[in-house]
Structure 1
Amino acid sequence: ASSSLMAALGRPFSLGMLYDCRQDSLIPGKALKSPNLIPQPNSEFEIVASESTEDKSSALNVQASLKASFLAGLVEVEGSAKYLNDCKISKNQARVTLKYKTTTKYQELSMRHLGRDNVKHPYVFDKGIATHVVKGILYGAQAFFVFDREVSEKEDHKDIEGSLKVMIQQIPGLVLQGQDSLQLTETDTANVQNFSCKFHGDFNLQRHPVSFQDAIEVYQSLPTLLGANGENAVPVKVWLMPLKILDSAAAQLVRQISIRLVMEVQSVLEVFSELEMRCNDAMKNSTTQQFPQIGKKLKAFGELCSEYKLEFQRTLAEKLPSIRGGKEEEAVLAEVLKMRHSSPFNNKNLSEWMSCKEREINIIEALTDMMKNTKIVTSRYALDKEILSAEHAVCFAFTSLEDDEPYLSDLSKYLKETPEIWNTMRQKSKLFNAFGEIDMDNNISFLIAGLANEKKKGASIHLYKEGSLFSESFEPPSKPEKPAVSDTTHNCVTVRISPPGLGTENITHYSVEYCVSGEDDWQQMTVLTYKIHHKEGFKIPYSFTIIHNEDFPHKFFSSEVFFFKRRVRQIISRLFMSDKLACEIDAVCLVIQASFPGPKLSYRYVFDSMLKLFDEDVAENIRIVVTSADDELPPVLEVIKSSKFPCPKTDSVYRSINM
């Protein structure tokens, strides 16, 4: 992987320092040594008239990945990069920014300086502390002069910004022409008095500018503040090289966050910045000051938005390093954004509520302006004072200002929802989807519905049988692991099936299909297990297990019977050879249906072959279990009695079970 370029953002980089691109964090105290030095003097200026995150990031050369970390709060910016955090607090602000940038030198490490042996703390490779090393640094400094002016309702916002931009563009020319001040008209001078200035820079100023004239003086002094030899310069850009190039054991950046998702995250946070400005403007409105009921709701709205924004950023700060390190897929971030769109904090609902409040303020303002010479009282206390001091009083009352706001309640309730509920809903939905994909039974309908259930917060999976609710906490079996071969002989393969991670209690049987190599015809052998537990009152004085292969021997030819017989003999032999399993067999059992017409040749062949494994007197220990029997004597018993099948013929050995 090649080196990557990154903005320093006022962070204290040093050449050879280690860096973790997963969290965009510096690893202090762990560096390489011996740089090469290349002088690189340059100066430039730029006018920034936009307040968007995109344009601010562009002014500081911040790429998408680093921007995502900044938006998530993973990166603390310093110096000139604090400009990223300087947002307008009102839509009535006209703002234009002047950027100054200068570079002095470039330092880099040659390949002979790079290597595991030159790292002061080699354990960083084994412990995965860092992903990159700082290979090169461009030194210099940047400064941003942010000029603001309040725009009244009678003024045109674009005109004010335009005139401000024209005047600011003249400032860099002062340095080149050696002038001390701008030549301004009386109108321009009047406008300049209303400008305020904020400074964000990498320079050590004795006094920060607060006015337009202050900004001119500071701008003129900037070239001298770096020192005669540029000793006061700071890192402006850094070049990072993956540690994986030096040592394969080093941690690496598995994936970057896609630009599309970074732009979505940026859009979400810009929406909240826009709402914050609108809320601030509404709070400062004179009508809001006169009717504190409106201000109370606006304040609550602003606090809820701020709380959600912080929670959103906290989630980003958790997910970004995990995705970059390969522990989670990028789809996790997409899901976070999707949840936001489906929450009460979506763009449409937030903007509509704010628009309704702005309209309410405008209506009240228009109505109160119509009522000339009418005093507005701002509280119940003030109203009582007025009506008690007059013989008669007539009051126009706005009766709905204190009505409950269901939407604010929804926002508050959403923020109080525990993460466990969302995690449960996400887990249940994934389990539901996975079960729908692996279950091929056409008799199952998969449905989605809204069903109230106080006991099951978030979501639950209901199972219905024949129209009735069978379980409201159904856990579908997850997809089982791939069967593994545990034993192989020249004519037999033993397959071991591991149970799935979830829903094992709802599994009744497994089906295994097999196919001869080179053929397309898959066959299925289904094995069912029945556990018969002894209970008081049973005629059978013990518990036992029935293992039923319902395909045998109906689908078997003579050769298959032969191999099946051999397999049975192997299993029984292995049973006796293991000291952890059975040491003796008390009985051999034949399971047969009550209406069975008689033992077929294939049945008799296999059963006789198994009897040969035991002593000759095993016939006395053969038991018959008859299934699908009623209270009458099963017809199959007469068939067995009349045949030469080896088994006792006394009544005590016949047991019937309805299954």
Structure 2
Amino acid sequence: MASADAIERQTVCRRGFIGSLYDIRTDKLEGTNLFKKKLPEEFIDVSDNAHTSYELLFNNSQKETFDKMNIEASLKLSLMTGILDIAGSAKYLKETKTNSLTIRVTYVYKVKTKQEQLHISRDGLSDYCSVDALKNPNATHVVTGIIWGANVAATFEQEAENLEEVQKVEGSLSAVLKSLPISGEAKLDLQNTDKSKVEKLQISLSGDILIDECPQNIEGVMRVFKTVPSRIKTLNEGKGQQLVFVLHPLKKMAEIFKPDLKINTMIEEVSHLVVMRIEDIFEDISIGKRKFNDFFNEIKPWEHYISRDWRHAIHQKQAERIAAEVKTQRELSTLLQKIRGGQAEESEMERLLDDFDRKNPCSSMSIERLLREKQNVTLKIRLLKDFQPEKHLLKEITSIKYILSRLYDKNVYLLHVSEEWETKDGDNSFKQLRLFKSMIKNETIDSAFIVIDYDLHHSDLKNDEDKANKCCIYHAIHGKIKSKDYYQDSLKKLSRSQISSILKENSSLSEKDILQRHKDFLIEYPTGELTDDEFVGELQKLHKEYVVSVDALSKQHDKVFFLFDVFSGNSSHYCDYIFAAIDKDRSGTISFSELMSAVALTSIGNADNVEKRLSLIFQIIDSNEKNGINFQQLVKFIEVVTELVKGEAAVNTTNIKVIVKQMFEMFKKNVEDEQLSKEEFMKWHELCLKLFIDICSFSFLVSVAHKNDAFKPVGTSHEINIPTNATWKQNGVTIAGGHGQGDATNQPCTPHGLFVDDDQTVVIADYGNHRIMQWKNGDTTNGQRVAGDKDEGNGLHQLGYPTDVLIDKETDSLIICDRGNQRVVRWPRRSGTTQGEILIDNIECYGLAMDEQRHLYVSDYRKHEVRRYQLGEKNDTLVAGGNDEGGGPNQLDEPGYLFVDRQQNVYVSDHWNRRVMKWPKGAKEGIVVAGDNDQRSAPTQLSFPNGIFVDTLGTLYVADSRSDRVMRWTQGAKDGTVIVGGNGRGEEANQLSNPDGLSFDRHGNLYVADCGNNRVQRFSIE
């Protein structure tokens, strides 16, 4: 329904006049004028409207650009669907990043000068009015005002080498541009490394003013912008260009000029929720396009080393994606115009949108599915990247004999690989590849390393008598093949380089000792490798003759005894830790050379060389080879060693953290984001020995659990006992927002997940404003931004469409699901924090939870799975789903919010299956605890589950978004009951609109993120 009041539409390079007819159904100027002849000047008022501002665009999506440029929702849809084309000087509005490695920041300088306004009520104006124009069926409004000025945009662009560079350069550039005034000199304040990267950016200008120069740097851009006001004076009598049309409905104009004339032009607008869904569709298309282009760009440098059939299939999929994108835009455009003209119902649009994710080839979900299907190509490229193309790879091959004859004077190593062999025996392929790469690191002038890829060269080698039948390494010299499985042969016979490496680590052993140990090793383990159980046995053999009491060790730590000579406590975690650390190739087995790295930690390998052993300890702790050890790594190490020496009961993590913190403070290091270098670790060696022994010796470090300590899960919610018959007041109280959509501190925009702290402080994921807001108990006036910049982006100081947030009490920080940037980040809660750190990257995250042991659980809605992470470590564990999308008991379909109870049971809101699943710890399949997809229309079932909470009795609470209510499901119940909402969609106190996240405080009061109403409601328990 059209408003009777005036509305505004940005011109987007269109040109009109006072009286021009306009059709808001198509957002186009009709081409004729309401007035039969030119109006005298007294009918049009011209006033000053001087205003200057700027906007920073990161070009991640058209939605982001349109929002920042304040383009109205209706016009935004017309531009997105192609009803109205973007051309000419406004081209910066449609420029979006086509891949993830594009650095692009657009600085838009906005100037307003004058406003023309028609005096509608002026006597005599009706004499100029055309009756035919009023009856024009192709027009709905008339231009009654024009705002003049100019927009000029400078776009800085470059291709980065990696995502870290994108974030760093965009963050640096953004900070510089925000600090620069339009007037005055532009002064750059950048580190030298940042400055060199910024100076490499390509710069292009566009906008409403002809720019006759091409600046080469930021200073040049600022000089151009300073000339904009003087350039405007030369355009349209100093007014500049048309920026905004002020429009009045033709129907209202007819009432003023021709009261007897009836105008019945049908005008309908789609609802705000559908507008948001259409925006999300185009956002999703952009994401899918970037992902496909990332994949395509990754292939390009390697196209000569990939099978022609593989390349052809990928090009076909690219063509299908482009065609689907064009078709989708055309369908949305046609249907949108029909709805606006009253020729179609909004429900038709909803059906089209419902089918998008699953059926449309250009949706990001379809692209994800395609990329999974083509994972063989990704894996192949990942393999190829380990080699130098011109040195190790072949575009063409004649025969294996020809290769060997050409390299007659060299030791030749040929790695034979294929997708089929890797699929059949991945372990063997991995081990062969690992050895081959390690040999290349020690490549000499008289050796040659060649990869023969049977996926690429299959037809060339089909009849070659020397071809391989599995993944293996050939070794040849003087044109003759000496070994057809060099890996297996190397396990049985030590090479000179292996002996040298072992001697370097074990200063107390001779070459004769090593050869004898290897001989004995092969007698006991003929395969040349140890399983994890066999490894534990070998460690026990190493340590048993050195077991001494802790008291004795504390008195003699300056002699030959050393921490690793003690094995009197619980060894299981220590063995696991050492196994993972020395299994460098992640093969799951330990070779003789790797076992000797464990020997080097003991007195057998290094009797008196404490510094050597400490150096090796550093390498063990720094298993990721980052040349530094962080706070959590050192804490973990001391924990497993403490347990080794004196048993599990001696491990007191709190006290260990205090000690490690003191260590970091010795070197003025921040425990949250800094590391100890190897040199600092070595300087500390005497203190290391004493501290490790003391940790294990002093009885006060033994952890004692107090019976009266109440359990509070870390970073989830309070454990509360809510009676199964509890009721809540049906009228909610707004504790955050409720002031319409906007970005002020009292205006959350489509709030999603939320967290309620012990003191009833509420932390909210302000999805539409790309920030995290905190609202103190009792202060419902304004919230406080505690994470995210005012602008969306992927810098460390920014967020993009955050969906969930929790408080980690251990570190007093926020953990945030930064959905738009595909990452999980942590922001300290201390005052003055301006940026976060990335915990998990490249994940399509949606919901978060944390258990008592501080394991972090994250749902991945694109991979349809939930994974558990140990903070500070890279390892993760699949805990739910992971078997593609579907409705089976071992599947999920776009999982959303999470809850984890004390038993580490994981509850998941399974969006498109319209159910909530419970996955017991270690289970391969989940249990449906709420919802029935086959009966989703029933009033006691779920239409679209979002936020969830489980109390101590196992009662489940679910925000049922599309039914605008919160439901309760007692344990074992087949049907749910409504506890709040369910009174139709609306903004009254007893209504909800698309509720999203929910939580309870320790009193049992219910908090709901009322997404569609841009507010958070509290429903008090009765």
TM-score (norm 1): 0.54
* Counterpart-to-counterpart distance in 2, 1:206 and 1:81: 17
* Counterpart-to-counterpart distance in 2, 1:119 and 1:323: 33
* Counterpart-to-counterpart distance in 1, 2:19 and 2:324: 39
* Counterpart-to-counterpart distance in 1, 2:388 and 2:86: 53
| AA partner of residue 305 (structure 2) | Q
Note if 1:162 corresponds to 2:171. Answer: yes
* Counterpart-to-counterpart distance in 2, 1:81 and 1:156: 28
Note if 1:316 corresponds to 2:337. Answer: no
* Counterpart-to-counterpart distance in 1, 2:354 and 2:197: 46
Task: Report Cα offsets for 1:605-628 as digits up to 9, x if no partner.
Answer: xxxxxxxxxxxxxxxxxxxxxxxx
Task: Report Cα offsets for 1:574-617 as digits up to 9, x if no partner.
Answer: xxxxxxxxxxxxxxxxxxxxxxxxxxxxxxxxxxxxxxxxxxxx
* Counterpart-to-counterpart distance in 2, 1:371 and 1:188: 30
Aligned partner of 2:417 in structure 1 is: 396
* Counterpart-to-counterpart distance in 1, 2:50 and 2:238: 13
CA contact (8 A) 1:198 1:210 kept: no
SS at match of 1:28: strand
| Pick aligned residue for 2:47 from 10, 22, 38 | 38
- The structural deviation recorded for 1:257 is 1.4
- The structural deviation recorded for 1:294 is 4.0
- The structural deviation recorded for 1:232 is 5.6
* Counterpart-to-counterpart distance in 2, 1:94 and 1:48: 11
Gaps of 5+ in 2: 255-260, 406-413, 424-454, 459-933, 935-1022
Task: Report Cα offsets for 1:212-237 as digits up to 9, x if no partner.
Answer: 45423322222221016853611111
Query: Judging changes above 3 Å, is the alpha-carbon distance between structure 1 residues 104 and 349 closer, same or farther for their aligned structure 2 residues?
Result: closer
Aligned partner of 2:149 in structure 1 is: 140
CA contact (8 A) 1:288 1:361 kept: no
Note if 1:5 corresponds to 2:8. Answer: yes
- The structural deviation recorded for 1:376 is 3.2
Q: Give the root-mean-square deviation of aligned CA atoms.
A: 3.4
Task: Report Cα offsets for 1:450-501 as digits up to 9, x if no partner.
Answer: xxxxxxxxxxxxxxxxxxxxxxxxxxxxxxxxxxxxxxxxxxxxxxxxxxxx
- The structural deviation recorded for 1:36 is 1.6
Query: Judging changes above 3 Å, is the alpha-carbon distance between structure 1 residues 36 and 388 closer, same or farther for their aligned structure 2 residues?
Result: farther
Aligned partner of 1:23 in structure 2 is: 26
Note if 1:335 corresponds to 2:346. Answer: no
- The structural deviation recorded for 1:88 is 0.9
CA contact (8 A) 2:288 2:362 kept: no
| AA partner of residue 290 (structure 1) | Y
Aligned partner of 2:84 in structure 1 is: 75
- The structural deviation recorded for 1:319 is 1.5
Q: Map of 1:394-473 to 2, 5 A cutoff?
A: 396-398=417-419
| AA partner of residue 224 (structure 1) | S
| Pick aligned residue for 1:190 from 175, 192, 196 | 196
* Counterpart-to-counterpart distance in 2, 1:82 and 1:70: 12
Note if 1:238 corresponds to 2:249. Answer: no
CA contact (8 A) 1:100 1:144 kept: yes
CA contact (8 A) 2:205 2:211 kept: no
SS at match of 2:205: strand
Q: Which structure: larger Rg?
A: 1
Aligned partner of 2:273 in structure 1 is: 260
CA contact (8 A) 1:143 1:201 kept: yes
SS at match of 1:317: helix
| Pick aligned residue for 2:342 from 323, 326, 335 | 326
CA contact (8 A) 1:17 1:31 kept: yes
- The structural deviation recorded for 1:350 is 1.2
| Pick aligned residue for 2:368 from 314, 330, 352 | 352
* Counterpart-to-counterpart distance in 2, 1:27 and 1:114: 27
| AA partner of residue 227 (structure 2) | S
Aligned partner of 1:512 in structure 2 is: none
Query: Judging changes above 3 Å, is the alpha-carbon distance between structure 1 residues 361 and 216 closer, same or farther for their aligned structure 2 residues?
Result: farther
* Counterpart-to-counterpart distance in 2, 1:154 and 1:334: 36
- The structural deviation recorded for 1:391 is 7.3
Aligned partner of 2:393 in structure 1 is: 376
| AA partner of residue 233 (structure 1) | G
| Pick aligned residue for 1:272 from 266, 285, 297 | 285
Aligned partner of 1:506 in structure 2 is: none
| AA partner of residue 211 (structure 2) | L
Aligned partner of 1:606 in structure 2 is: none
SS at match of 2:227: helix
Query: Judging changes above 3 Å, is the alpha-carbon distance between structure 1 residues 293 and 282 closer, same or farther for their aligned structure 2 residues?
Result: farther
Which range moves more in the overlay, 65-74 or 21-30? 21-30
| Pick aligned residue for 2:66 from 39, 54, 57 | 57
- The structural deviation recorded for 1:8 is 1.4
Q: Map of 1:511-522 to 2, 5 A cutoff?
A: none
- The structural deviation recorded for 1:169 is 2.6
| AA partner of residue 251 (structure 2) | K
Query: Alignment identity in percent?
Result: 21
Query: Judging changes above 3 Å, is the alpha-carbon distance between structure 1 residues 208 and 315 closer, same or farther for their aligned structure 2 residues?
Result: farther
Note if 1:200 corresponds to 2:209. Answer: no
Note if 1:128 corresponds to 2:149. Answer: no
Aligned residue pairs: how many? 397
| AA partner of residue 329 (structure 2) | Q
CA contact (8 A) 1:69 1:317 kept: yes
| AA partner of residue 6 (structure 1) | R
Which range moves more in the overlay, 187-196 or 54-63? 187-196
Q: Map of 1:508-587 to 2, 5 A cutoff?
A: none
| Pick aligned residue for 2:305 from 261, 277, 290 | 290
Which range moves more in the overlay, 181-190 or 125-134? 181-190
* Counterpart-to-counterpart distance in 1, 2:27 and 2:128: 20
| AA partner of residue 105 (structure 2) | V
* Counterpart-to-counterpart distance in 2, 1:115 and 1:20: 26
CA contact (8 A) 1:80 1:144 kept: no
- The structural deviation recorded for 1:61 is 1.7
* Counterpart-to-counterpart distance in 2, 1:191 and 1:342: 41
Aligned partner of 1:220 in structure 2 is: 226
* Counterpart-to-counterpart distance in 2, 1:166 and 1:257: 38
CA contact (8 A) 1:47 1:97 kept: yes
Task: Report Cα offsets for 1:104-158 as digits up to 9, x if no partner.
Answer: 1110111146999556653233341210001111111112222223322384432
* Counterpart-to-counterpart distance in 1, 2:70 and 2:285: 24
* Counterpart-to-counterpart distance in 2, 1:262 and 1:38: 35
* Counterpart-to-counterpart distance in 2, 1:333 and 1:113: 43
The one of the two structures with greater contact order (alpha-carbon pairs below 8 A, sep at least 6) is 1
SS at match of 2:359: coil
* Counterpart-to-counterpart distance in 2, 1:189 and 1:69: 40
- The structural deviation recorded for 1:49 is 4.1
CA contact (8 A) 1:45 1:99 kept: yes
* Counterpart-to-counterpart distance in 1, 2:95 and 2:108: 14
Aligned partner of 1:655 in structure 2 is: none
CA contact (8 A) 1:37 1:105 kept: yes
| Pick aligned residue for 1:303 from 305, 319, 337 | 319
Task: Report Cα offsets for 1:289-329 as digits up to 9, x if no partner.
Answer: 53154443332222211111111111122122221111221
| AA partner of residue 243 (structure 1) | L
CA contact (8 A) 1:124 1:250 kept: no
CA contact (8 A) 2:46 2:115 kept: yes
Which range moves more in the overlay, 123-132 or 367-376? 367-376
Query: Judging changes above 3 Å, is the alpha-carbon distance between structure 1 residues 35 and 290 closer, same or farther for their aligned structure 2 residues?
Result: farther
Q: Map of 1:477-496 to 2, 5 A cutoff?
A: none
